[in-house]
Amino acid sequence: MARDCRRQSGAGPGDPGNANFGLSRRRFLAIAAWGVAGVFIPGIAAASRSTIHVARRLSFHNLHTDERLTAVYWQRGSYVPAALEEIDTILRDHRTGEIRTMAPRLIDVIFALTARLGSTTPVQIVSGFRSAATNDQLHAEDPEHVAAHSLHLTGEAVDLCFEDRSLRRVRDAAISLRSGGVGHYPRSGFVHLDIGRVRRW
C-alpha cells in the first residue's frame, strides 16, 4: 500500500486574506522569461513537442492550510497567468502568508512527475515558497537538512508527496526526469524537487 504522507493541517498566519489576486507584472515577466520552458525539460521533451497544445491540469492539496486547487495552467500552447497566480497562492509560505511567483518550469516538472507516476490524487504540498524569515528559522533549527540559500526562497523548489504513491516511487520517478535536484526524506514524509542542477540525495 502506498504510504499516506498526510500530516497535520490548519490555517494560520498563512491565510492570504485580502491578497491581491490580480495579474501581476512579476508573473508576466516570469512567463516571458521561461517562455515554453516545459518543452525543454529533458524527461518530457519528446512528449511536450507532440502535446504542446494539450491542456495541462494540476490538482494541489496544501497539507498545512488544507486548501485545495485544481487549475489548467497551460492551454493552447501557452501558460494561463490567472491559473499560475492561483498556484502561487496555494504554494505560499504558510507561516507568513507571503506569496511569490513560482517558476513556471517548476510547475511543468510537477506536471511531468504526476504524469509519469500516473497519480490520480492531488499533489500534496509540504513546502513551496519560503520567505527569508521562515528559511532562516528552519535553517537554525536544522542546518544539516535546510540550506541557507535554499531554492525554496526563489520559488524554484517544492516538497511534495502523493497519497496514492510510495515516497520511493515518487523519488525514482523524479530522478528519471533529470530536471533538477531530488531529495528523499522518508522520515519527514516527502520528496524535495527543484529546478537547480541535476543531483540527488
pLDDT in tens, 13-47: 455 554 444 446 555 555 555 454 444 555 555 54
Q: Which segments within 114-156 are labelled E, that is strand?
A: 123-127
- Domain span holding position 183: 25-200
> Is 67 part of any domain?
yes
> Is 19 part of any domain?
no
Residues 110-150: tens digit of each pLDDT? 999 999 999 999 999 999 999 999 999 999 998 988 999 99
> Is 6 part of any domain?
no
> Is 97 part of any domain?
yes
- Give the model's pLDDT for residue 31: 52
Distance (Å, whole) CA 130 – CA 151: 9
pLDDT confidence of 54, banded at 50, 70, 90?
confident
State the pairing for strand pair 181-185/199-200: parallel
> Is 43 part of any domain?
yes
What total of structural domains would you count in the chain?
A: 1
Residues 62-107: tens digit of each pLDDT? 999 999 999 999 999 999 999 999 999 999 999 999 999 999 999 9
Give the mean model confidence (pLDDT) for residues 181-189: 97
- Give the model's pLDDT for residue 66: 98
CATH number where 127 lies: 3.30.1380
106, 194 contact by CB (below 8 A): yes
Of 6-10, 15-19, 56-60, least confident by mean pLDDT is 6-10
Distance (Å, whole) CA 133 – CA 123: 26
Give the mean model confidence (pLDDT) for residues 45-60: 74
Distance (Å, whole) CA 102 – CA 88: 6
